[in-house]
Amino acid sequence: MAKHITILCDSSMLENKRKGMQWLVGTRTMPCTVISVIHCLRLNAGYPDIQAESAELRILLPKGLEIVGALLNEVGELEKARKIYEITMEVALAVNGDDSCKKSGLIIACLESADNQSLKFYHGTSQSLNTVESVVHPGNPGAHLWKKMCLLRCKLHIQLPLYASGFDNPSDYSRQLEAAFSNLIKKLRGDALYCIVEGSSTTPRKVVSGIFKDSDNFHQSGNKSHTTQGDSQCSDFCPSSVFTSSHGLQMPMPLNFVLLIHQSLEKGINLAPFAEYLPANGEAILRVLNLDLDIISVAHRELSVHEAISSLILTALTDQLYAMRDMLLEEIPEHPELCSYVFCPPGFAHPISCIYNLNYGESEFKTVEWRKLLHQRLSLPMDRPLLRRANALSFTQNEFGAQKQGTQRLSNVHVNMPTSSGVVGGQCSLIHGSYEYYHYLQDSFNDSGWGCAYRSLQTIFSWFKLQNYTVLDVPMHGKIQEILVKIGDKEPSFKGSQNWIGAIELSFVLDELLGVSSKILNVRSGAEVPEKCRELALHFETQGTPVMIGGGVLAYTLLGVDYNDTTGDCAFLILDPHYTGGEDLRTIWAGGWCGWKKPVNSKGEEFFLRDKFYNFLLPQRPNTI
Ligand SMILES: *[C@@H]1O[C@H](CO)[C@@H](O)[C@H](O)[C@H]1NC(C)=O
Ligand SMILES: *[C@@H]1O[C@H](CO)[C@@H](O)[C@H](O)[C@H]1NC(C)=O
Ligand SMILES: *[C@@H]1O[C@H](CO)[C@@H](O)[C@H](O)[C@H]1NC(C)=O
Ligand SMILES: *[C@@H]1O[C@H](CO)[C@@H](O)[C@H](O)[C@H]1NC(C)=O
Ligand SMILES: *[C@@H]1O[C@H](CO)[C@@H](O)[C@H](O)[C@H]1NC(C)=O
């Protein structure tokens, strides 16, 4: 059919040499265009498992984006392309929500020949599949896409009460669960639904109601013309501002939709307080399901607002609700909390969505396995976190403007420091990435004299937080003590005390909160510390995490070493948690609270004491996702 197709993603995405099937993603409003590529993961006897595959893709892809074809990393003649077409059509029908792809056809890509690994594209319907003559790669694909399209977003927090006469009875539980969800979905599809459309402060607001009055016609006729008379378009409200994802892609700020249910309209006029009576056979338990929905859709700028709500926003919400219900049917957690997140992983010109079960910690096996699958689907590197909660898009323009309570800490205080290490011809190895400087007396908490190791732990923790390994808050002293009691390392009386902790305790806390393991380096005397320089340099080069030094009654944070292999000359970049002053860089530098320390300074004073035993805690950077 089509002579040309347009590719709006990195060609590296298409050239992924992994075997197997990949789905081509596009949108019906930009025909014959590939926007991204997603691996097929769920197989059944070598073929895509249509049901499992489509269920996952419906959540992953924003509404408005669809399966428009497939790519198989195998040599494919027309005959083979036809076969792929049939399988892909089944998945497309299940994912896209209607059968318009039967008319518009699919794009099928295979390898040219055994010697020529370049891609060959076919396009058309089952009967008219033909070789595509040319493939166009416009420069700046993101701009090409977002010139025509806009982002829609809707966040919804739902607390769904569930009464059951015993959660031990699975059939009772699933019955209740299913009823609760269908009730909820009915409300979303009812007459009482109102929707506020919010662009930005400079664009108008609009309240839309009666969404389902005439939308049924629209669904049945499959009439996708973008405008209906008198109805406003998304572009009337779209904010003109853009945001930049962490890998540098610019996308328009989304248009927000706020959903409201008109309660009195639903129950009858003049609603009085009422109580609902739910008879139970025995003792009943109330469990509140916490559902946090965050949906993102991609719409043509000229799409009418009514259609955007009915065909994109509500469909996406319904899909997410069904997916959450199915997750809850699988198991019954104590305090169910399901949350969806929007990400824009590197290589993608559009966002994607995932639902996480917050009953599992981020480093728990189940969560990690799930993220691994998602990384595979999206061909993301397997050695760094990209789909953790800390990576999720929040779309707030000045996220760092809204400061939390407590001390406003300095970060990366060693950067641009005026003094040098004094090592001649040394090789300088420093931490990779950012940290915050935690020290005595911060947050109006007087830990002077006992809290130095706690502060060092907080600095290390902040590094993991700023590198997006966690969304947890940096733990305060009380929390750290609570963890040590909880894991059985300390007696309950330890909580609230002013007792010191050391490198071993730090490693327990890092393991418990972050799943991070640590190496501990023992040095019998301060005089032997310089011998460990090579090992420390290697740590900074390969792991790049801040190190805690515990020795005698003092704890320090180590940010790097400068070391000359030949002469043995060395210096240590120390960040000192014993600082009690304000957050002022000049004072910190001038006082040497952050600075290079030689084992013996110019006055002959030793930094590492000869008669003290030292422990170096080297947190290992998780080679995980
Ligand atoms: C592979 O095939 C493509 C398309 O037919 C052609 O343009 C390209 O030159 C070929 N490459 C090689 C190395 O033969
Ligand atoms: C779609 O709607 C437009 C305007 O409402 C109308 O002119 C057109 O005939 C419709 N097309 C179909 C296929 O129903
Ligand atoms: C962490 O994630 C945020 C939000 O996506 C991003 O802005 C930041 O650059 C990321 N940091 C790193 C070190 O990747
Ligand atoms: C150590 O310093 C000496 C003398 O300045 C220099 O010749 C040598 O190259 C340095 N070694 C390393 C590994 O940098
Ligand atoms: C903090 O506590 C120590 C010991 O209890 C005390 O000597 C010191 O004056 C206190 N400092 C501040 C700033 O309150």
Model pLDDT, residue 232: 84
Residue 98 belongs to a domain with what CATH number?
Answer: 3.40.140.10
Domain boundary pick from 87, 108, 137: 137
Residue 55 has pLDDT above 50, yes or no: yes
Kindly report, residue by residue over 191-248, the tens digit of the pLDDT. Answer: 788 888 887 766 667 777 766 654 443 443 344 443 344 578 898 888 888 887 777 7
Residue 467 CA, closest ligand 3 atom number: 13
Model pLDDT, residue 396: 62
Q: Which domain holds residue 347?
A: 149-264+282-391
Q: Are residues 192 and 314 in the same domain?
A: yes
pLDDT band at 270 (very low <50, low <70, confident <90, very high): low
Residues with Cβ within 8 Å of 594's Cβ and at least 6 positions away in sequence, in order, are 413, 414, 417, 437, 559, 573, 574, 575, 576, 588
Which ligand sits nearest to residue 217's alpha carbon? 2
Q: Are residues 450 and 480 in the same domain?
A: yes
Q: Are residues 303 and 373 in the same domain?
A: yes
* In-domain check, residue 272: no
Distance of CA 348 to the CA centre of its chain: 14
Model pLDDT, residue 567: 93
Distance from C-alpha of 229 to C-alpha of 208, rounded to nearest angstrom:
15
Q: Are residues 96 and 196 in the same domain?
A: no
Mutate which of 421, 427, 564, 570 for ligand 4? The one with the most ligand atoms within 8 Å of its CB, which is 564
Percent of the chain with pLDDT over 90: 59
Residue 223 CA to ligand 2 centre (angstroms): 6
Residue 392 CA, closest ligand 3 atom number: 5
Kindly report the number of other CB atoms within 10 A of residue 130's CB atom: 15
* In-domain check, residue 273: no
pLDDT band at 269 (very low <50, low <70, confident <90, very high): low
In this predicted model, which residue has the larger pLDDT, 315 or 190?
Answer: 315
Contact 360, 209 (CB under 8 A): no
What are the helix and strand counts (H, E) for the chain? 16, 27
Is the whole-model pTM more than 0.85? no
pLDDT band at 166 (very low <50, low <70, confident <90, very high): low
Chain mean pLDDT for the chain: 87
- Known catalytic residue: 569? no
3-state SS class at 252: strand
Contact 255, 152 (CB under 8 A): yes
Model pLDDT, residue 394: 80
Q: Which helix (H) or strand (E) holds 152?
A: strand 149-164
Token pair of 148, please? Answer: 């025509």
Q: Are residues 372 and 433 in the same domain?
A: no
Distance from C-alpha of 604 to C-alpha of 69, rounded to nearest angstrom:
73
Atom 12 in ligand 4: which residue has the minimum CA distance?
564
Q: Tokens 């060959």 appear where? A: 120
Which ligand sits nearest to residue 225's alpha carbon? 2
Q: Is the CB of 448 under 6 A from ligand 5?
A: yes
In this predicted model, which residue has the larger pLDDT, 133 or 593?
Answer: 593
Q: Tokens 């957050």 appear where? A: 583
Q: Are residues 315 and 446 in the same domain?
A: no
Model pLDDT, residue 132: 93
* In-domain check, residue 274: no
Name the catalytic one among 144, 226, 432, 578.
578
Q: Are residues 72 and 170 in the same domain?
A: no
Torsion of CA 295, 299, 301, 302, to 10 degrees: -120
* In-domain check, residue 471: yes
Distance from C-alpha of 339 to C-alpha of 546, rounded to nearest angstrom:
32
Residues with Cβ within 8 Å of 408's Cβ and at least 6 positions away in sequence, in order, are 583
Kindly report, residue by residue over 308-332, the tens digit of the pLDDT. Answer: 999 999 999 999 999 999 999 887 6
Residue 173 has pLDDT above 90, yes or no: no
Domain boundary pick from 391, 424, 450: 391
pLDDT band at 397 (very low <50, low <70, confident <90, very high): very low
Q: Are residues 358 and 445 in the same domain?
A: no
Burial of 308: CB neighbours in 10 Å, binned 0-12, 13-18, 19+: buried
Residue 123 CA to ligand 1 centre (angstroms): 19
Q: Are residues 105 and 176 in the same domain?
A: no
- Among residues 411, 416, 458, which one has the least CA distance to residue 433? 411
Name the catalytic one among 452, 533, 570, 594.
452
Residue 118 CA to ligand 1 centre (angstroms): 7
- Known catalytic residue: 452? yes
Residue 461 has pLDDT above 70, yes or no: yes
Which ligand sits nearest to residue 427's alpha carbon? 4
Least confident segment among 224-233, 344-353, 500-509, 591-600:
224-233
Distances (CA, A) of 613 to 528, 560, 577: 10, 20, 19
Model pLDDT, residue 604: 86
Model pLDDT, residue 506: 97
Model pLDDT, residue 1: 57
Model pLDDT, residue 15: 79
Q: Are residues 359 and 225 in the same domain?
A: yes
Model pLDDT, residue 102: 92
Which ligand sits nearest to residue 75's alpha carbon? 1
Distance from C-alpha of 462 to C-alpha of 417, rounded to nearest angstrom:
20
* In-domain check, residue 276: no
* In-domain check, residue 53: yes
Contact 350, 252 (CB under 8 A): no
Residue 533 CA to ligand 4 centre (angstroms): 15
In the structure, which protein residues have their CB atom closer than 6 angstroms to any atom of ligand 4?
Answer: 424-425, 427, 564-567
Residues with Cβ within 8 Å of 342's Cβ and at least 6 positions away in sequence, in order, are 153, 294, 296, 351, 352, 353, 392, 393
Residue 107 CA to ligand 1 centre (angstroms): 20
Domain boundary pick from 97, 114, 137: 137
Model pLDDT, residue 162: 83
- Among residues 216, 173, 318, 174, which one has the least CA distance to residue 259? 318
pLDDT band at 496 (very low <50, low <70, confident <90, very high): very high
Q: Are residues 68 and 174 in the same domain?
A: no
Model pLDDT, residue 254: 92
For residue 20, the 8-state DSSP code is S
Distances (CA, A) of 508 to 88, 216, 454, 490: 49, 59, 13, 11
Atom 2 in ligand 4: which residue has the minimum CA distance?
425
Residue 426 CA, closest ligand 4 atom number: 14
Residue 521 CA to ligand 3 centre (angstroms): 31
* In-domain check, residue 143: no
Q: Which helix (H) or strand (E) holds 142?
A: helix 141-148
pLDDT band at 434 (very low <50, low <70, confident <90, very high): very high
Instruction: Give me the number of domains the chain comprises.
Output: 3
Q: Are residues 130 and 171 in the same domain?
A: no
Name the catalytic one among 292, 447, 569, 576.
576
Task: Answer left, alpha or beta for residue 127, where phi above 0 means left and psi between -120 and 50 means alpha.
Answer: alpha
Model pLDDT, residue 154: 95
Residue 207 CA to ligand 1 centre (angstroms): 55
E strands, 505-576, are: 518-523, 547-551, 554-563, 570-575
Residue 64 CA to ligand 2 centre (angstroms): 20
* In-domain check, residue 214: yes
What's the whole-number mean pLDDT along residues 138-165?
89
Mutate which of 11, 110, 112 for ligand 1? The one with the most ligand atoms within 8 Å of its CB, which is 112
Residue 466 belongs to a domain with what CATH number?
Answer: 3.90.70.130
Kindly report, residue by residue over 28-41, the tens digit of the pLDDT. Answer: 999 999 999 999 99
Residue 112 CA, closest ligand 1 atom number: 2
In the structure, which protein residues have their CB atom closer than 6 angstroms to any atom of ligand 3?
Answer: 246, 390-391, 433, 467-468
Which ligand sits nearest to residue 245's alpha carbon? 3
Model pLDDT, residue 74: 87
Model pLDDT, residue 471: 81
Mutate which of 567, 569, 570 for ligand 4? The one with the most ligand atoms within 8 Å of its CB, which is 567
Contact 6, 136 (CB under 8 A): yes
Atom 8 in ligand 3: which residue has the minimum CA distance?
246
In the structure, which protein residues have their CB atom closer than 6 angstroms to any atom of ligand 1?
Answer: 112, 116, 118
Residues with Cβ within 8 Å of 396's Cβ and at least 6 positions away in sequence, in order, are 402
Angle at 542 between CA 541 and CA 545, to 5 degrees: 85
